[in-house]
Amino acid sequence: MSNQSVGTTISETPERESFYARIGQKNLAPLWTSLNDLITPEPRSKCMPAHWRFSDVRAAMMEAGDIITAKEAERRVLVLENPGLRGESKITTDLYAGVQLVLPGEVAPAHRHAQTALRFVMEGGGAHTSVNGERTIMNEGDFIITPPMAWHDHGNESDRPIFWLDGLDIPMVQFLDASFAEHLGEDEQPITRPVGDSDVRYGANLLPIDHRPGGGTSPIFNYPYARTREALERMRRANAWDPCHGLKMRYVNPNNGKYAMATMATFMQLLPQGFSTTSYRSTDATVFVPIEGRGRSWIGSDVVVEWGKRDIFVVPSWHHVRHEADEDSVLFSFSDRPVHEALYLFREDRGVA
Ligand code: 1HN
């Protein structure tokens, strides 16, 4: 019963076909021919399990570095296109992801837009991004937020290339027809606050006495890896492993205890050497980026991804996933879970214990 489709298969007759053609001219269509595809018994997605090796992405990015500057491109990014959604600039049905390269001495000029962006630094360090008048230094493993309509520009004053993953809610904003964007007209925005200001102001389990939380985005815009990694390392001593996730934490907005961004959830998880998770599935298609370690993940019924440090892989909605770590492994991940939860659509299945 539960796996049965809503509606039945309708056979076509010449009379029906000619009726559909006639009403089509009046912008009308029968529901009974498409009901099965509209109301599916379980999520049915064009989004496919996918895997990008960092070595491939890095090589392509360095070639991109030879043919275009960050300034000319505005953002020198290679889009991670889900193989089931080619040409749509989507890594999942409602999320965008790309890998961005800023070479030493380059700038990516200031602009702002309605879309929320997350950055996850994959390789390099000592570059910076500025958000709303404050700079932060970007280091490997850092999770950095660009809130909606916040001016942002990036620069690399270090002596090595920096690569990071951009995750944006572009397809979601596109679906809602709510995109706005503008250029500042300058490479860099004016800096009005010292480096680290929002971290000390909002990231030390304290809030300014007259702080009035506004918007759905965390006021902390850089969650440094050093601190996240230290937390995971100290928690592992409790030896309290979740069978589905190992040790998995979510990044939090201190204003409200919710996710750090309104549209995207971010997580960091530790899988110790030799750990095998049990099978898990949830409605939020998830993008994983291992930042340490090596292992494999079984996705759905027929895909195995052998992942290493800095690879990227996708688990589509409602696909079972199971991870196995060959070394101590740390996996960053993000998804559209806040939207599922806000709309009471979130479901998860932790399997049978
Ligand atoms: C954007 O603003 C950035 O600021 C990166 O680094 C990727 C992809 C589409 C639209 C805006 C950035 C982007 C983007």
| pLDDT-wise least confident of 53-67, 75-89, 165-179, 209-223 | 209-223
Mean pLDDT, rounded, of the chain: 96
76 Cα to the center of ligand 1, angstroms: 9
Model pLDDT, residue 179: 98
77 Cα to the center of ligand 1, angstroms: 8
Model pLDDT, residue 5: 60
Residues near 219 by beta carbon (within 8 Å), at least 6 away in sequence: 198, 201, 202, 211, 213, 253, 254, 255
Model pLDDT, residue 353: 46
The answer on pLDDT for 315 being more than 80 is yes
C-beta 144 within 6 A of ligand 1: no
- The pLDDT tens digits of the residues spanning 186-245 come to 999 999 999 999 999 999 999 999 999 888 999 999 999 999 999 999 999 999 999 999
The answer on pLDDT for 9 being more than 90 is no
pTM of structure: 0.96
The answer on pLDDT for 298 being more than 60 is yes
Give the Cα separation of 180 and 139 in Å (integer): 30
179 Cα to the center of ligand 1, angstroms: 13
Q: Whose CA is nearest to atom 6 of ligand 1?
A: 75
Q: Are 49 and 299 in contact (CB under 8 A)?
A: yes
Model pLDDT, residue 47: 98
Identity (one letter) of the amino acid at 32?
Answer: W
C-beta 293 within 6 A of ligand 1: no
The answer on pLDDT for 1 being more than 80 is no
The answer on pLDDT for 3 being more than 80 is no
Model pLDDT, residue 128: 98
Q: Whose CA is nearest to atom 12 of ligand 1?
A: 75
Q: Are 335 and 346 in contact (CB under 8 A)?
A: no
Binning pLDDT at 50, 70 and 90, where does residue 6 land?
A: low
The percent of residues above 90 in pLDDT, for the chain, comes to 95
Domains of the chain are 1-41 (no CATH), 50-349 (2.60.120.10)
71-89 per-residue burial string, b: 16 or more CB within 10 A, e: under 16: eeeebbbeebbbebbeebb
The answer on pLDDT for 7 being more than 90 is no
- The pLDDT tens digits of the residues spanning 250-283 come to 999 999 999 999 999 999 999 999 999 999 999 9
284 Cα to the center of ligand 1, angstroms: 22
Name the residue among 207, 234, 229 with its Cα closest to residue 293: 229
C-beta 173 within 6 A of ligand 1: no
262 Cα to the center of ligand 1, angstroms: 17
C-beta 61 within 6 A of ligand 1: no
Dihedral angle computed from the Cα positions of residues 43, 48, 52 and 56, in that order, rounded to the nearest 10 degrees: -160
Model pLDDT, residue 10: 86
Model pLDDT, residue 2: 45
C-beta 117 within 6 A of ligand 1: yes
